[in-house]
Structure 1
Protein backbone atom coordinates (compact mmCIF):
# COMPACT_ATOMS: atom_id res chain seq x y z
CA UNK A 1 0.00 0.00 0.00
CA UNK A 2 1.20 3.49 -0.85
CA UNK A 3 0.03 6.66 0.89
CA UNK A 4 -0.11 9.90 -1.05
CA UNK A 5 -0.92 13.39 0.16
CA UNK A 6 -2.50 16.19 -1.81
CA UNK A 7 -2.30 19.65 -0.28
CA UNK A 8 -3.53 22.59 -2.25
CA UNK A 9 -2.37 26.07 -1.40
CA UNK A 10 -5.22 28.38 -0.41
CA UNK A 11 -3.88 31.48 -2.16
CA UNK A 12 -2.37 29.88 -5.26
CA UNK A 13 -3.49 31.82 -8.33
CA UNK A 14 -1.48 29.75 -10.78
CA UNK A 15 -3.22 26.51 -9.68
CA UNK A 16 -0.06 24.47 -9.22
CA UNK A 17 0.56 21.97 -6.45
CA UNK A 18 2.48 18.79 -5.70
CA UNK A 19 1.33 15.31 -4.65
CA UNK A 20 3.74 13.79 -2.14
CA UNK A 21 4.22 10.26 -0.82
CA UNK A 22 4.47 9.12 2.81
CA UNK A 23 8.20 9.99 2.82
CA UNK A 24 7.36 13.56 1.67
CA UNK A 25 8.93 12.90 -1.74
CA UNK A 26 7.30 14.43 -4.83
CA UNK A 27 5.23 11.86 -6.80
CA UNK A 28 3.11 14.04 -9.11
CA UNK A 29 2.86 17.67 -10.19
CA UNK A 30 -0.52 19.20 -10.97
CA UNK A 31 -1.02 22.31 -13.08
CA UNK A 32 -4.32 24.00 -13.83
CA UNK A 33 -5.03 26.13 -16.86
CA UNK A 34 -5.47 29.49 -15.15
CA UNK A 35 -7.97 31.70 -17.03
CA UNK A 36 -8.16 29.43 -20.11
CA UNK A 37 -11.04 27.71 -21.85
CA UNK A 38 -11.56 24.82 -21.59
CA UNK A 39 -10.53 24.54 -17.96
CA UNK A 40 -8.00 21.70 -17.58
CA UNK A 41 -5.76 20.14 -14.94
CA UNK A 42 -2.68 18.30 -16.12
CA UNK A 43 -1.18 15.64 -13.83
CA UNK A 44 2.49 14.96 -14.48
CA UNK A 45 4.95 12.43 -13.10
CA UNK A 46 8.31 13.44 -11.59
CA UNK A 47 9.90 13.69 -15.05
CA UNK A 48 7.14 16.20 -15.99
CA UNK A 49 5.47 13.82 -18.46
CA UNK A 50 1.68 14.16 -18.52
CA UNK A 51 0.02 11.01 -17.14
CA UNK A 52 -3.55 12.30 -16.74
CA UNK A 53 -5.74 15.17 -17.87
CA UNK A 54 -8.96 16.56 -16.41
CA UNK A 55 -11.06 18.71 -18.74
CA UNK A 56 -14.25 20.67 -18.04
CA UNK A 57 -16.60 20.49 -21.02
CA UNK A 58 -17.37 23.91 -22.41
CA UNK A 59 -20.75 25.03 -23.68
CA UNK A 60 -22.63 22.44 -21.69
CA UNK A 61 -26.04 22.99 -20.10
CA UNK A 62 -24.84 21.28 -16.91
CA UNK A 63 -21.20 20.99 -15.76
CA UNK A 64 -19.34 17.92 -17.01
CA UNK A 65 -15.74 16.86 -16.40
CA UNK A 66 -13.74 14.26 -18.33
CA UNK A 67 -10.80 12.39 -16.79
CA UNK A 68 -8.19 10.83 -19.08
CA UNK A 69 -5.35 8.62 -17.85
CA UNK A 70 -2.68 7.56 -20.33
CA UNK A 71 -4.71 9.07 -23.19
CA UNK A 72 -7.85 7.01 -22.38
CA UNK A 73 -11.00 8.44 -20.85
CA UNK A 74 -11.50 6.59 -17.55
CA UNK A 75 -14.41 8.50 -16.05
CA UNK A 76 -16.84 11.36 -16.37
CA UNK A 77 -18.29 13.46 -13.57
CA UNK A 78 -21.49 15.25 -14.45
CA UNK A 79 -24.11 17.33 -12.69
CA UNK A 80 -27.62 15.94 -12.82
CA UNK A 81 -30.69 18.11 -13.26
CA UNK A 82 -32.32 18.46 -9.83
CA UNK A 83 -34.33 21.23 -8.22
CA UNK A 84 -33.62 20.97 -4.50
CA UNK A 85 -30.08 19.68 -4.01
CA UNK A 86 -27.03 19.51 -6.27
CA UNK A 87 -26.48 15.98 -7.52
CA UNK A 88 -23.49 14.66 -9.41
CA UNK A 89 -22.82 11.24 -10.88
CA UNK A 90 -19.60 9.48 -11.77
CA UNK A 91 -19.60 7.31 -14.89
CA UNK A 92 -16.69 4.93 -15.35
CA UNK A 93 -16.10 1.54 -16.90
CA UNK A 94 -15.39 -0.88 -14.09
CA UNK A 95 -14.62 1.89 -11.57
CA UNK A 96 -17.02 2.76 -8.77
CA UNK A 97 -16.79 5.39 -6.04
CA UNK A 98 -18.52 4.45 -2.78
CA UNK A 99 -18.96 6.60 0.29
CA UNK A 100 -19.32 10.31 0.72
CA UNK A 101 -17.30 11.58 -2.21
CA UNK A 102 -18.70 15.10 -1.88
CA UNK A 103 -17.04 15.31 1.58
CA UNK A 104 -13.95 13.51 0.21
CA UNK A 105 -14.27 10.36 2.33
CA UNK A 106 -14.71 7.43 -0.03
CA UNK A 107 -13.37 4.19 -1.45
CA UNK A 108 -12.61 3.47 -5.09
CA UNK A 109 -13.48 0.01 -6.38
CA UNK A 110 -12.47 -1.63 -9.63
CA UNK A 111 -14.72 -4.50 -10.64
CA UNK A 112 -15.95 -4.73 -7.02
CA UNK A 113 -12.49 -4.83 -5.40
CA UNK A 114 -11.29 -1.89 -3.25
CA UNK A 115 -8.24 -0.34 -4.93
CA UNK A 116 -7.97 2.87 -2.91
CA UNK A 117 -9.32 5.06 -0.15
CA UNK A 118 -9.52 8.83 0.20
CA UNK A 119 -9.94 10.88 3.37
CA UNK A 120 -10.03 14.63 3.78
CA UNK A 121 -7.53 15.88 6.33
CA UNK A 122 -9.27 18.23 8.75
CA UNK A 123 -7.69 21.12 10.65
CA UNK A 124 -5.33 22.04 7.84
CA UNK A 125 -4.77 25.27 5.93
CA UNK A 126 -6.23 24.62 2.49
CA UNK A 127 -7.64 21.42 1.10
CA UNK A 128 -5.60 18.37 2.12
CA UNK A 129 -6.35 14.76 1.23
CA UNK A 130 -4.80 11.46 2.23
CA UNK A 131 -4.98 8.86 -0.53
CA UNK A 132 -4.29 5.18 0.20
CA UNK A 133 -3.49 3.30 -3.00
CA UNK A 134 -3.94 -0.46 -2.57
CA UNK A 135 -3.00 -1.42 -6.15
CA UNK A 136 0.05 0.30 -7.65
CA UNK A 137 -1.39 0.34 -11.19
CA UNK A 138 -4.32 2.44 -9.90
CA UNK A 139 -2.13 5.21 -8.46
CA UNK A 140 -2.59 7.68 -11.33
CA UNK A 141 -6.33 6.95 -11.59
CA UNK A 142 -6.74 7.55 -7.84
CA UNK A 143 -4.97 10.92 -8.00
CA UNK A 144 -6.99 11.92 -11.08
CA UNK A 145 -10.28 11.02 -9.34
CA UNK A 146 -9.43 13.08 -6.25
CA UNK A 147 -8.38 16.11 -8.27
CA UNK A 148 -11.40 15.83 -10.58
CA UNK A 149 -13.85 15.68 -7.67
CA UNK A 150 -12.08 18.59 -5.97
CA UNK A 151 -12.28 20.53 -9.24
CA UNK A 152 -16.04 19.86 -9.46
CA UNK A 153 -16.49 21.03 -5.86
CA UNK A 154 -14.45 24.19 -6.45
CA UNK A 155 -16.38 24.93 -9.64
CA UNK A 156 -19.66 24.50 -7.76
CA UNK A 157 -18.62 26.72 -4.85
CA UNK A 158 -17.33 29.47 -7.15
CA UNK A 159 -20.56 29.46 -9.18
CA UNK A 160 -22.62 29.64 -5.97
CA UNK A 161 -20.55 32.50 -4.58
CA UNK A 162 -20.97 34.55 -7.76
CA UNK A 163 -24.74 34.85 -7.39
CA UNK A 164 -25.84 38.48 -6.97
CA UNK A 165 -28.92 38.98 -4.84
CA UNK A 166 -29.42 42.71 -5.62
Structure 2
Protein backbone atom coordinates (compact mmCIF):
# COMPACT_ATOMS: atom_id res chain seq x y z
CA UNK A 1 0.00 0.00 0.00
CA UNK A 2 1.43 3.32 -1.00
CA UNK A 3 0.24 6.63 0.40
CA UNK A 4 1.13 10.19 -0.65
CA UNK A 5 1.71 12.94 1.89
CA UNK A 6 2.19 16.65 1.23
CA UNK A 7 5.29 18.19 2.80
CA UNK A 8 3.44 20.77 4.89
CA UNK A 9 1.28 18.09 6.49
CA UNK A 10 2.60 18.62 9.97
CA UNK A 11 1.50 22.17 10.67
CA UNK A 12 -0.38 22.25 13.96
CA UNK A 13 -3.95 23.37 13.44
CA UNK A 14 -4.02 22.42 9.77
CA UNK A 15 -5.95 19.54 8.27
CA UNK A 16 -4.46 17.51 5.42
CA UNK A 17 -5.49 14.45 3.48
CA UNK A 18 -3.26 11.46 2.87
CA UNK A 19 -4.06 9.91 -0.49
CA UNK A 20 -3.55 6.45 -1.90
CA UNK A 21 -1.47 5.89 -5.04
CA UNK A 22 -4.56 6.53 -7.19
CA UNK A 23 -5.18 9.95 -5.64
CA UNK A 24 -8.16 8.91 -3.49
CA UNK A 25 -8.37 10.46 -0.03
CA UNK A 26 -7.78 7.77 2.60
CA UNK A 27 -6.78 9.45 5.88
CA UNK A 28 -7.25 12.93 7.29
CA UNK A 29 -4.60 14.33 9.61
CA UNK A 30 -6.43 16.78 11.82
CA UNK A 31 -3.99 19.08 13.62
CA UNK A 32 -5.44 20.47 16.81
CA UNK A 33 -4.53 24.12 17.31
CA UNK A 34 -4.69 25.99 20.60
CA UNK A 35 -3.55 23.02 22.65
CA UNK A 36 -0.78 23.05 25.24
CA UNK A 37 0.94 20.17 23.47
CA UNK A 38 1.25 19.04 19.84
CA UNK A 39 -1.88 17.02 19.06
CA UNK A 40 -3.08 15.32 15.89
CA UNK A 41 -5.92 12.97 15.06
CA UNK A 42 -5.72 10.52 12.20
CA UNK A 43 -9.23 10.00 10.81
CA UNK A 44 -10.74 7.83 8.10
CA UNK A 45 -12.85 9.24 5.27
CA UNK A 46 -16.00 9.01 7.41
CA UNK A 47 -14.45 11.20 10.10
CA UNK A 48 -13.87 8.41 12.63
CA UNK A 49 -10.74 8.91 14.74
CA UNK A 50 -8.40 5.97 14.14
CA UNK A 51 -5.57 7.17 16.38
CA UNK A 52 -4.72 10.25 18.39
CA UNK A 53 -1.16 11.49 18.56
CA UNK A 54 0.11 13.89 21.20
CA UNK A 55 3.36 15.02 22.72
CA UNK A 56 4.01 13.92 26.28
CA UNK A 57 4.08 17.02 28.47
CA UNK A 58 6.71 16.08 31.04
CA UNK A 59 9.61 13.89 29.96
CA UNK A 60 13.39 14.11 29.88
CA UNK A 61 13.48 13.45 26.14
CA UNK A 62 10.80 14.54 23.71
CA UNK A 63 8.24 11.76 23.54
CA UNK A 64 5.06 11.31 21.55
CA UNK A 65 2.17 9.05 22.48
CA UNK A 66 -0.13 7.23 20.04
CA UNK A 67 -3.53 6.26 21.42
CA UNK A 68 -6.44 4.29 20.02
CA UNK A 69 -9.88 4.55 21.64
CA UNK A 70 -8.38 6.39 24.62
CA UNK A 71 -5.87 3.61 25.33
CA UNK A 72 -2.12 3.99 24.81
CA UNK A 73 -0.98 2.08 21.74
CA UNK A 74 2.65 3.20 21.45
CA UNK A 75 5.32 5.58 22.72
CA UNK A 76 7.80 7.14 20.29
CA UNK A 77 11.14 8.65 21.31
CA UNK A 78 14.62 9.12 19.94
CA UNK A 79 17.21 6.51 20.86
CA UNK A 80 19.89 7.85 23.16
CA UNK A 81 23.02 6.94 21.21
CA UNK A 82 22.49 7.52 17.51
CA UNK A 83 25.23 9.71 16.11
CA UNK A 84 25.27 9.07 12.37
CA UNK A 85 21.59 8.64 11.53
CA UNK A 86 18.32 9.44 13.20
CA UNK A 87 17.09 6.46 15.18
CA UNK A 88 13.78 6.30 17.01
CA UNK A 89 12.28 3.53 19.08
CA UNK A 90 8.55 2.83 19.07
CA UNK A 91 7.51 0.89 22.16
CA UNK A 92 4.19 -0.81 21.50
CA UNK A 93 1.96 -1.40 24.49
CA UNK A 94 2.04 -5.19 24.05
CA UNK A 95 5.79 -5.13 24.66
CA UNK A 96 7.30 -5.23 21.17
CA UNK A 97 9.47 -2.48 19.69
CA UNK A 98 9.67 -1.00 16.23
CA UNK A 99 12.87 0.61 14.96
CA UNK A 100 12.78 3.78 12.87
CA UNK A 101 16.00 4.86 11.20
CA UNK A 102 17.25 6.92 8.31
CA UNK A 103 17.37 10.57 7.35
CA UNK A 104 14.15 11.74 9.03
CA UNK A 105 14.36 15.42 8.04
CA UNK A 106 14.95 14.36 4.41
CA UNK A 107 11.92 12.05 4.63
CA UNK A 108 14.08 9.05 3.78
CA UNK A 109 13.64 6.44 6.52
CA UNK A 110 12.25 3.03 7.29
CA UNK A 111 10.17 1.38 10.01
CA UNK A 112 11.22 -2.16 10.95
CA UNK A 113 10.20 -4.85 13.37
CA UNK A 114 12.92 -7.32 14.37
CA UNK A 115 14.88 -6.60 11.17
CA UNK A 116 11.82 -6.96 8.90
CA UNK A 117 10.85 -3.92 6.84
CA UNK A 118 7.29 -2.77 7.57
CA UNK A 119 7.26 0.61 5.82
CA UNK A 120 9.54 2.79 3.75
CA UNK A 121 9.11 6.57 3.78
CA UNK A 122 10.71 8.28 0.80
CA UNK A 123 10.47 11.15 -1.57
CA UNK A 124 12.97 9.59 -3.97
CA UNK A 125 10.38 7.74 -6.04
CA UNK A 126 8.06 10.72 -6.43
CA UNK A 127 8.24 13.50 -8.98
CA UNK A 128 5.62 15.72 -7.34
CA UNK A 129 7.27 18.59 -5.48
CA UNK A 130 6.85 18.76 -1.69
CA UNK A 131 5.38 15.27 -1.56
CA UNK A 132 6.70 12.08 -0.08
CA UNK A 133 5.39 8.55 0.05
CA UNK A 134 4.72 6.04 2.75
CA UNK A 135 5.03 2.58 1.26
CA UNK A 136 3.67 -0.05 3.65
CA UNK A 137 5.33 -3.31 2.69
CA UNK A 138 3.31 -5.85 4.67
CA UNK A 139 -0.33 -6.21 3.66
CA UNK A 140 -1.36 -7.19 7.20
CA UNK A 141 0.33 -4.17 8.80
CA UNK A 142 -1.68 -1.55 10.72
CA UNK A 143 -1.53 1.32 8.21
CA UNK A 144 -2.93 3.89 10.67
CA UNK A 145 -0.27 2.99 13.25
CA UNK A 146 2.60 3.18 10.73
CA UNK A 147 1.37 6.54 9.41
CA UNK A 148 1.08 7.78 13.01
CA UNK A 149 4.65 6.63 13.70
CA UNK A 150 5.81 8.55 10.62
CA UNK A 151 4.03 11.69 11.85
CA UNK A 152 5.62 11.32 15.29
CA UNK A 153 9.22 10.90 14.17
CA UNK A 154 9.01 13.76 11.69
CA UNK A 155 7.49 16.08 14.32
CA UNK A 156 10.11 15.05 16.91
CA UNK A 157 12.99 15.46 14.43
CA UNK A 158 11.76 18.89 13.32
CA UNK A 159 11.39 20.07 16.93
CA UNK A 160 14.91 18.85 17.74
CA UNK A 161 16.30 20.53 14.61
CA UNK A 162 14.61 23.83 15.53
CA UNK A 163 15.93 23.67 19.09
The TM-score bracket by the shorter chain reads 0.7 to 0.9
What's 1:95 paired with? 98
Equivalent positions of 1:1-166 (< 5 A) are 2-9=1-8, 14-69=13-68, 71-78=71-78, 80=80, 89-92=88-91, 93-120=96-123, 126=130, 128-136=131-139, 137-158=141-162, 160=163
Distance 2:79 2:112 in 1: 21
Deviation by residue 1:105-151 (Cα, 9 ceiling, x = unmatched): 1222223321211103588654x321111223331122111111121
Distance 2:158 2:98 in 1: 23
Distance 2:51 2:19 in 1: 16
**Which structure is larger by alpha-carbon Rg, 1 or 2?**
1
Structure 1 residue 62: Cα displacement: 3.4
* Residue segments in structure 2 that go unaligned for 5+ positions in a row: none
Please state whether the residue corresponding to 2:142 is helix, strand or coil.
Answer: helix
53-62 or 28-37: bigger deviation: 53-62
Root-mean-square deviation over aligned CA pairs: 3.2
Aligned length: 156
Structure 1 residue 22: Cα displacement: 0.4
- TM-score normalised to the size of structure 2? 0.76
Contact 1:120 1:129 in 2 (8 A): yes
Distance 1:41 1:157 in 2: 20
* Residue segments in structure 1 that go unaligned for 5+ positions in a row: 161-166
Structure 1 residue 14: Cα displacement: 2.9
Distance 1:22 1:123 in 2: 13
Contact 2:30 2:41 in 1 (8 A): yes
Change (3 A) 1:98 1:157: closer
